[in-house]
Amino acid sequence: MAQKLILESVSYSYPFSGSPPVLKDVNLVVDPGEVICIAGRNGSGKSTLSQICAGLLFPTGGKLSYGGSRIKTRRDMSGLRKNVCLLFQSPEDQLFADTVLADISFGPRNHGLRGSELQAIVRESAEMAGLDIERLGDRSPFSLSGGEKRMVALAGVFALRPEILVLDEPFTGLDHTHREHLRESLARYRESRGASLVIVSHELSNVWPVAVKYGLLADGKLAGLRSRAEIAAEKDGISRLGLRLPQWGALEHELRRINIELDDPSDYHVIAETIRSYKEGQDD
């Protein structure tokens, strides 16, 4: 079960860059088991924030804590990395081994797993990531297509069994079937382990069916987390940030304005059924 991850007034400046801070006074609380989307335009600081959450970059200002313990030293950082794992924006930054199998096995092997237990976790993680391990297991990860590389990187992160998964643009490069599969796997992973998910994205439509709270990042500043309905009500503000409200988000918002609530706005059958019931109610 995940613990609470808290960022308090976190700032970050890249060393020797001579540029202003990339993150300024960022406050973020990731409660156990919740699904948060951090969205923002290119260069807004999403990947930097992801790396801070996962203990890969140390904040240059402010406080970071996990499970009530402050992260102050390099040792604390490596402790944090056991519980929080990052799927890098670019799979090439994550992959390193000679074969796909060796890459996915690396984490659980380091945790002491061997033999059938190791095999089982590798297979399960590959399946969760939508990767055909029978076909690709012996290939070099660097010889794979972009989408296949992302699936291997994802499987490697699932195999580490983190309590918090931070995913930096996880849908990039995946086709429709694999994106759908990933959304289902993330939901299953979260439910089975009580894990929290932080999904970072420059677009909202892929995340919309999964994320419950949204944090908008602009010029290194993170606005307070908001619900899907609150975000849907801010169409113009969203556009100003270079983002676009998913069509079904806009539709959900418009229907809510006339008191029609949708259980699942991403499912056209639910939309049609809800409107049919509404019409029947009007006709009576």
Ligand X SMILES: Nc1ncnc2c1ncn2[C@@H]1O[C@H](COP(=O)(O)OP(=O)(O)OP(=O)(O)O)[C@@H](O)[C@H]1O
Which one, 131 or 167, has the nearer CB to ligand X?
167
| Residue 199: contacted member of ligand X, Mg ion, none (CB under 5 to 8 Å, by partner type) | none
Could you say which residues in the range 157-196 bind ligand X, by CB under 6 A? none
Nearest CA to 122 out of 82, 156, 94 is that of 156
Q: Judged by CB under 6 A, which of 24, 46, 179, 181 binds ligand X?
A: 46
Torsion (CA) 272, 273, 276, 278 in degrees, nearest 10 = -110
Q: Is the separation of the CB atoms in 203 and 2 below 8 Å?
A: no
Q: Judged by CB under 6 A, which of 3, 83, 89, 196 binds ligand X?
A: 89
Which one, 48 or 274, has the nearer CB to ligand X?
48
User: Least Å distance between CB 220 and Mg ion?
Assistant: 13
Q: Does 110 help bind ligand X (rule: CB under 6 A)?
A: no
Per CB under 6 A, which region of 45-53, 97-105, 110-118, 234-242 contacts ligand X? 45-53
Q: Is the separation of the CB atoms in 45 and 215 below 8 Å?
A: no
Per CB under 6 A, which region of 37-45, 64-72, 247-255, 267-275 contacts ligand X? 37-45
Q: Does 43 help bind ligand X (rule: CB under 6 A)?
A: yes
Which one, 44 or 185, has the nearer CB to ligand X?
44
Nearby residues of 271 by Cβ (< 8 Å), 6 or more positions away: 248, 251, 262, 265
Report CA Rg, the chain. Answer: 20
Helix axes 115-129, 100-110, angle to 10 degrees: 120
User: Least Å distance between CB 99 and ligand X?
Assistant: 29
Check residue 160 and report its DSSP letter: T
User: Least Å distance between CB 121 and ligand X?
Assistant: 30
Question: What span, in angstroms and rounded, lies between the C-alpha atoms of 29 and 229?
Answer: 20
Q: Does 47 help bind ligand X (rule: CB under 6 A)?
A: yes
Torsions phi, psi for 206 (to 5 deg): -70, -30
Q: Does 206 help bind ligand X (rule: CB under 6 A)?
A: no
Which pair of tokens denotes residue 26? 């960022």
Binding to ligand X by CB under 6 A, coded x per residue (else -) over 15-34, reads --x----x------------
Which one, 28 or 100, has the nearer CB to Mg ion?
28
Number of H helices, E strands in the chain: 11, 11
Q: Judged by CB under 6 A, which of 202, 221, 226, 244 binds ligand X?
A: 202
The residue to which tokens 């291997």 are assigned: 152
Q: Does 244 help bind ligand X (rule: CB under 6 A)?
A: no
Check residue 98 and report its DSSP letter: S
> Could you list the residues that contact ligand X (CB under 6 A)?
14, 17, 22, 40, 42-48, 89, 202
